[in-house]
Amino acid sequence: MKILLLEDEFLLSRSIRTYLLSRGHLVDHYDNGKDVLKVIEEKQHDFYILDINTPLIGGLECLEAIAAKFPNIPKIMISAYNDIEHISSAFDLGCSDYLKKPFNLKELQIRIELLLNKSNAVDVPNPIIHLSEHYTFNKETNLLYYDDSVQRFTKKEHSLILLFISNLGQIITDESIQSFIWNGEEVESSTIRSLVNRVRNKLKEDILQNIRGFGYVMARTANAK
């Protein structure tokens, strides 16, 4: 899932990004509302996390613009404010939930999951993702199949598969892989390339591609069901 985060506190934004990356999400981070208003004109995200008090343009103004353009996409407001006026304004403008700072990152994840479950309540999602004519991924078991055969990977290789499955069709950078697999620990770019190449060599079809100069992408093939 691709998440937009508006937060100008450096340490908090880094903590949120690292945690959400570890949960398999991609995070586009902005530290001011002016950049966010530009971004929403160009692309849509699957989830929005917005701080109220941000430079140049505040989070409430961003929320209003996002709610008008993407009314059905979940939006969480975060703030140190705890007065009813700010909370009421946020909900009036279209936020889905309100989280007061400081908060536990696990609580943020729980609220994200609750909102996603609520928005998907009408449609029961199919747990099977068809990647190609032969490859499928079961989201309930987190296993990759080639026809009916479970594909075996090491722990890090399997984590990389999960990262790509969670972001099908989106370019995954070395930074995202480093944050997700190694929890942000410094590793050589050659180590990242080696991990990706091991996974690619184990795959029987070309569903994981190198986008030179940008990163890697896993996408469904044209003959996927």
Same domain, 98 and 168: no
Which domain range does residue 174 map to?
Answer: 128-218
How many domains are contained in the chain?
2
Residue 223 is assigned to a structural domain of this protein = no
Residue 121 is predicted with a pLDDT of 55
Last residue of a domain, one of 119, 148, 182: 119
Asked if residue 187 and residue 132 are part of one domain, the reply reads yes
Give the count of beta carbons closer than 10 Å to the beta carbon of residue 77: 28
Do both 103 and 142 map to the same domain? no
Tokens 């530009």 sit at which residue? Answer: 38
Tell me whether residue 224 is in a domain: no
46 and 113 both lie in a single domain:
yes
Instruction: Tell me, yes or no, whether 73 lies in a domain.
Output: yes
Looking at residue 30, which CATH number applies to its domain? 3.40.50.2300
Of 101, 113, 124, which Cα lies nearest the Cα of 74?
A: 113
CA atoms in the 13 A half-sphere facing the CB of 54: 30
Domain boundary among 119, 154, 180: 119
Same-domain status, 111 and 135: no
Of the three residues 99, 119, 139, the one that is the final residue of a domain is 119
Those residues of the chain that have pLDDT short of 70 are 120-125, 225
Q: Phi and psi for 81 in degrees, rounded to 5?
A: -65, 140
- Domain assignment present for residue 39? The answer is yes
Per-residue pLDDT at 210: 93
Helix (H, G, I), strand (E, B) or coil at 134: coil
Residue 37 falls inside a structural domain? yes
Say what the pLDDT of residue 54 is: 94
pLDDT value for 183:
77
- Residues 89 and 10 placed together within one structural domain of the fold: yes
| Same domain flag for 51 and 109 | yes
Residues 11 and 84 in one domain: yes
Say whether both 168 and 92 belong to one domain: no
What's the predicted TM-score (pTM) here?
Answer: 0.62
Same domain for 142 and 197? Answer: yes
pLDDT on residue 34: 96
| Residue 225 covered by a domain | no
Same domain, 31 and 69: yes
CATH of the domain at 133: 1.10.10.10
Could you give the residue ranges of the DSSP H alpha helices within 44-126? 59-69, 84-92, 105-119
Whether 163 and 202 map to the same domain: the answer is yes
pLDDT of residue 143: 92
Q: What is the structure's pLDDT at 124?
A: 53
